Amino acid sequence: MKKILSLFLLVWLVAFSLLYVTKTIESSEGYGGDNTVTIYNWGDYIDPALIKKFEKETGLKVIYQTFDSNEAMMTKIAQGGTTFDVAVPSEYAISKMKEEGLLLPIDHAKIPNLRYIDERFLNLSFDPGNRYSIPYFWGTVGIVYNPALLGGKEITSWNDLWDPSFKNEILLVDGAREIIGMALNSLHYSLNDTNKTHLQQAKQKLDALTPNVKAIVGDEIKMLLANEEAAIGIVWSGDAAEIMWENERLDYVIPEEGTNLWFDNMVIPKTAKNIDGAHQFINFMLDPENAAQNAEYVGYSTPNKKALEYLPKEIVEDERFYPSEQLANKLEVYENLGKSMLAYYNELFLQFKMHRK
């Protein structure tokens, strides 16, 4: 009997230990519950102090995980097994996630702070009525450059990049939509163009840019530009703000031909376990003071109209990051091109990268 009891106790201890380990792993891997809210966001894309503030105000614990691309984020959510309560995809990814049934509708009655969002950023083509998404940040794709390294030359246009004097001075961000879009815009085509003749023209123009391209890089582009290892970079506006904070000799321009107007929005994935907590978190981030604090920390533009009152005047009046209406009319949101056309963009971009070698 003693042996049986000892064996039973051993089995119970092993089972309890396994349960504890499983719960710990689940917590770290994005498995939540009523007392937690699991957030899936881009790296360094929220003020950590706001997470602590949310936890203190609500009593909920935040589990925070990051991704480095929309594609990686969508794949993980589509595979299931993880229970992210809030994710922060870009606009074209939201369109795709809706098509694939990966999102839950948002109850606007639980998001009273939605009233503070600028109407210009609501009811857009990728999510009419904002049924599935709430604006988080917005920005542009543009050019960071160092006039001191360019003999005082000023850049105002995409076409300026083909200046022969800029040989080996340009860093490109490693993104097909951004770089193919840049070439399309330089030809005065839409960056959502699906005309293959136009796309081939854009590819040929990119090939002609090759002598000026020093490298095609990822996040390290910020450090390289700040350290003046290249004079010009194609970057997102928030990265530009960070680079310029590190090195005041740099400037940022939205090209006169137009460029991408992008949005990152908060959504509730279909695997969410704490839907009420997700709504609480979204509403918390839309509080004007919280939104202003977050915008100042991250460096991207806030869609929260009321939050602008809490930001320094020099930020909200800087047309490089809050462009005038005239310039804003030249900006385009990425559309969901569909798998086939997106694959074609990726193939052209790969061909361009191979051409450089």
For residue 15, being part of any structural domain is answered with no
Whether 144 and 122 share a structural domain = no
Whether 338 and 218 share a structural domain = yes
Total number of domains in the chain: 2
Whether 113 and 43 share a structural domain = yes
For residue 285, being part of any structural domain is answered with yes
What's this model's pTM, rounded to 2 decimal places? 0.80
Whether 172 and 198 share a structural domain = yes
Q: d(Cα 46, Cα 116) in Å, to the nearest integer?
A: 19
Whether 148 and 256 share a structural domain = yes
pLDDT in tens, 4-63: 555 555 555 545 554 444 444 444 444 456 799 999 999 889 999 999 999 999 999 999
CA 11 to chain centroid, in Å, comes to 48
Is residue 92 a known part of a binding site? yes
Per-residue model confidence (pLDDT) at position 3: 54
Q: d(Cα 135, Cα 130) in Å, to the nearest integer?
A: 9
* Maximum distance among all Cα pairs of the chain, rounded to whole angstroms: 90
Whether 340 and 218 share a structural domain = yes
For residue 128, being part of any structural domain is answered with yes
Q: d(Cα 185, Cα 89) in Å, to the nearest integer?
A: 24
For residue 20, being part of any structural domain is answered with no
Whether 173 and 54 share a structural domain = no
Per-residue model confidence (pLDDT) at position 9: 57
Can you name the residues that pair with 263 across neighbouring β-strands? 138
Q: What's the number of CA atoms in the CB half-sphere (13 Å) around residue 94? A: 30
For residue 83, being part of any structural domain is answered with yes
For residue 18, being part of any structural domain is answered with no
Per-residue model confidence (pLDDT) at position 325: 80
Low-confidence ranges of the chain (pLDDT < 50): 14, 18-31
Whether 231 and 244 share a structural domain = yes
In contact, 217 and 173? CB cutoff 8 Å: yes
Centre a 10 Å sphere on the Cβ of residue 75 and count the other Cβ atoms it contains. Answer: 11
Per-residue model confidence (pLDDT) at position 26: 45
What DSSP character marks residue 85? S
Per-residue model confidence (pLDDT) at position 24: 47
Per-residue model confidence (pLDDT) at position 22: 43
For residue 171, being part of any structural domain is answered with yes
Whether 78 and 117 share a structural domain = yes
Whether 125 and 143 share a structural domain = no
CATH code of residue 240: 3.40.190.10
For residue 334, being part of any structural domain is answered with yes
Whether 190 and 250 share a structural domain = yes
Whether 208 and 297 share a structural domain = no
Burial 250-267 (b: 16+ CB within 10 A, else e): bebbbbebbbbbbbbbbb
Cα–Cα distances (Å) from 71 to 87, 92, 94, 120, in that order, read 13, 11, 11, 27
The C-alpha angle with vertex 162 and arms to 156 and 164, in degrees rounded to 5, equals: 115
Which domain does 298 fall in, by range?
Answer: 34-137+263-322
